[in-house]
Amino acid sequence: MAARVEKFLLVGTLGLGLSLAGLWLLHGKLGIPLSRASIVAIFASMAVTFLLNELWTWGDRPVRSSFPTRSALYFVINSVGMLINWQVLLFLHHHQSLHYQMANVVGAAMAAVWNFGLNNLVTWRV
């Protein structure tokens, strides 16, 4: 389990980097409102992390369900994680005056707990 958590955290770190870069571009440079830019950036990182988790983090588990089933489960579970991330980001930025990038890091860390737990129990077990 420890090795799987480490892999998940490495993949998540890459996903967080993509999310931060997306926020920098969409909000920081293009001026798209944070509430919209963060959804796009987080969703894009979800797509990349699904593929990496599929191939590497849980790639050693026997396949019991189809690729479309696993991807649908992942996106449903991670959509809740995205809402956790998004709400924490907006709250910390707008109500606690935390820089939007740091607020995104805190939100992503909170969402990671949800995402790992449910994906480990559901997505790659079905």
SS3 letters for 61-119?
Answer: CCCCCCHHHHHHHHHHHHHHHHHHHHHHHHHHHHHHCCCHHHHHHHHHHHHHHHHHHHH
Note whether 27 and 33 are within 8 A (CB). Answer: yes
**Cβ atoms within 10 A of the Cβ of 2, count?**
6
How confident is the model over 9-59, as pLDDT tens digits?
A: 999 999 999 999 999 999 999 999 999 999 999 999 999 999 999 999 998
Whole-angstrom CA distances from 111 to 9, 62, 66, 86 are 12, 26, 25, 9
How confident is the model over 62-120, as pLDDT tens digits?
A: 878 899 999 999 999 999 999 999 999 999 999 999 999 999 999 999 999 999 999 99
